[in-house]
Amino acid sequence: MDVHTTAGKLSDLDRRLDEAVHAGSQRAIEKQHSRGKLTARERVEMLLDEGSFVEIDELARHRSTAFGLESRRPYGDGVVTGYGTVDGRQICVFAQDFTVFGGSLGEVYGEKITKVMDLAMKTGCPIVGINEGAGARIQEGVVSLGLYGEIFRRNVHASGVIPQISLIMGACAGGHVYSPAVTDFTVMVDQTSNMFITGPDVIKTVTGEDVTMEELGGARTHNTKSGNAHYMGSDEEDAIEYVKALLSFLPQNNLEEAPAYDDASELEFSDVDRSLDTLVPDSPNQPYDMHTAIETVLDDGDFLEVQPLFAPNLVIGFGRVEGRSVGVVANQPMQFAGTLDIDASEKAARFVRTCDAFNIPVLTFVDVPGFLPGTDQEWNGIIRRGAKLIYAYAEATVPLVTVITRKAYGGAYDVMGSKHLGADMNLAWPTAQIAVMGAQGAVNILYRNELAGASDPDARRAELIEEYEDTLANPYIAAERGYVDAVISPHETRVEIVRALRLLRTKRETLPPKKHGNIPL
């Protein structure tokens, strides 16, 4: 074929594009499939609406000549970049291709990612990164590190401006891990994806520890222990479907609202509403599932939980009320009695800040006996790390609606979206106990001497506990002072939340001008 003719030029283009699509060897692709993984292009196709993907920089190639790289210059350089739609809404995307150079990051690879990130920022649309790479491309030297830095800087500048979501679909090692860490949500796949800065071999050499890749940085590890991930997919399709669901609750950018659907709620009480009247047990020590309260107030009971396996004593996630996105933060009495610990505090703080950045109202359900006691918590910084939750609520300017279902004791009462931190509408059930501490602890302190000298300490303690509960451990002292705006029957919760959110759609609140605050990191 004569490349100097028009037909020849067209044929040459077709050849180059075909090479770009098949940059990885057939053997590498088969190996990828044998591990239960898709290729980069297959993942992009699964994420985006059919036929919507527009690739950019398909013919980009590296320029390196060191270590024999000049003889291997595949098109695309190991990363697929472009844009398309998810449910008809525009997003930008990049997918690292493990079948080319093991997905390692080189100069052109990094330039392609920064280019599509810049495009997402210019157009104000979310960006989804599909990650599977073995770290920096050693042959390209320090230029790889430079491009990592360029990506990280763009992640930071985009934070709070456009939604950033990371899918971890395989090995994500070394410098590859920090971009996902800065993004809003990280989704992993059970048994096939992992993240770590230094691998098992290096750890064995330096510390003598024996650890597998799965134990060190597998999906379960990051979803249950480190909190670095927000969801663990059972397979790649499940992970991608979760990302699609996440995007449906998020706006295109911080200047827009999340997608809203015309779904006006009935202000009549349903049987499901009335079932909340029996949710809270008579005994304050008996647990109940806060998911029931959450799902009752959300449209169709549809709740997309975030980080369900991490800090299960606190529940976060997205739902809709009257077709509009809301974020939910709730103590979970089924786990550690709903106490706040370091992990729960940081989990909630980050989520509240995410909702605030993207104009999503926050609903808070409170049943918290306090902060988890213990030397482990104190020595690991619960004072500083728990203060992040105070900071998150106090700086939020989105609508904040709080419902106290049962316990709201001590400093944890303040921290969980209280009126004092700026919540707009605070509601309490008659079962609420808003006090400095629980009845038993308070009685033991207030009446220590009397109980020590009582002929029947247990009977006297029971009397004093009942007296304390009647006097202080109720919602009415707080209601008298306006700390709660209304005490409502549980079955009224959904309707009152609907009314509050209707009112707060036009909320405008401006914080004092400053460069930025100094959150207790």
Helix, strand or coil, per DSSP, at residue 132: strand
The active-site residue out of 170, 174, 317, 438 is: 174
Q: Give the integer Cα–Cα distance in Å for 508 and 501.
A: 13
Q: Is 175 a catalytic residue?
A: yes
Q: Is 370 a catalytic residue?
A: no
Residue 459: how many CB atoms within 10 A of its CB? 10
Name which of 394, 416, 225 is nearest 307 in CA terms.
Answer: 225
Yes or no: say if 250 and 163 are a contact pair by the CB < 8 Å rule: yes
The residues, any chain, with a CB within 8 Å of residue 397's CB and separated by 6 or more, are 356, 507, 509, 510, 511
Helix, strand or coil, per DSSP, at residue 172: strand
The active-site residue out of 175, 218, 319, 338 is: 175
Name which of 132, 146, 118, 121 is nearest 36 in CA terms.
Answer: 132
Residue 58: how many CB atoms within 10 A of its CB? 17
Yes or no: say if 114 and 147 are a contact pair by the CB < 8 Å rule: yes
Helix, strand or coil, per DSSP, at residue 311: coil
Q: Give the integer Cα–Cα distance in Å for 442 and 25.
A: 70
Yes or no: say if 296 and 280 are a contact pair by the CB < 8 Å rule: no
Residue 197: how many CB atoms within 10 A of its CB? 14
Q: Is 51 a catalytic residue?
A: no
The active-site residue out of 141, 160, 411, 441 is: 411
Helix, strand or coil, per DSSP, at residue 227: coil
Half-sphere exposure of 203 (CA within 13 A, CB side): 13
- Dihedral of alpha carbons 195, 198, 201, 203, sign: negative
Beta bridge partner(s), residue 326 = 319
Instruction: Record the tokens describing residue 483, joined without a space.
Output: 């700390």
- Specify the amino acid at residue 239: A
Yes or no: say if 247 and 87 are a contact pair by the CB < 8 Å rule: yes
Termini Cα distance of the chain: 63
Q: Is 412 a catalytic residue?
A: yes
Helix, strand or coil, per DSSP, at residue 366: strand
Yes or no: say if 195 and 151 are a contact pair by the CB < 8 Å rule: no
Instruction: Record the tokens describing residue 223, joined without a space.
Output: 């979803």
The active-site residue out of 23, 258, 412, 439 is: 412
- The residue ranges of DSSP E strands in 174-293, in sequence order, are 185-189, 194-196, 231-233
Q: Which stretch of DSSP H or E encloses residue 427?
A: strand 425-428
Residue 176 is classified by DSSP as G
Radius of gyration of the chain (CA): 27
The angle subtended at Cα 83 by Cα 80 and Cα 84, nearest 5°, is: 120
Beta bridge partner(s), residue 189 = 233
Catalytic residues: 174-175, 411-412
